Amino acid sequence: MEAVDYEIRIKGRMSDSQLLAFEGMTVTVEPVETVVYGPLADQEAVHELMLKLQALGLEIVELRRLPSHPNEDGAPPSAAE
């Protein structure tokens, strides 16, 4: 199974030490929240990330699974891919 991209919006700005916990993911700091974006391998990885956020005392504003990327011809990926 292929990793799926997720976007997690966190209330406020994260400290540099908190940002280190999200190695391998893209982090964008916006005026009122921090956005963490990247691939998660499976549901277990999603739960582990949620536990990490909780342990850091961070408040999740939104967690969403992003749509899969279509093939170059614009068709959605097939189940065989």
pLDDT at residue 73 in the model: 45
| pLDDT tens, residue by residue, 4-54 | 999 999 999 988 888 888 888 999 988 899 999 999 999 999 999 999 999
pLDDT at residue 78 in the model: 43
Alpha helix segments (H runs only) across 8-80: 16-19, 43-55
Residue 57: which region, alpha, beta or left (left: phi > 0; alpha: psi -120 to 50)?
A: left
Q: Which pTM was predicted?
A: 0.75
Domain boundaries, the chain: 4-59
Give the CATH number of domain 4-59; options: 3.30.450, 1.10.3470, 3.30.70, 3.40.50. Answer: 3.30.70
Res 71 pLDDT > 80: no
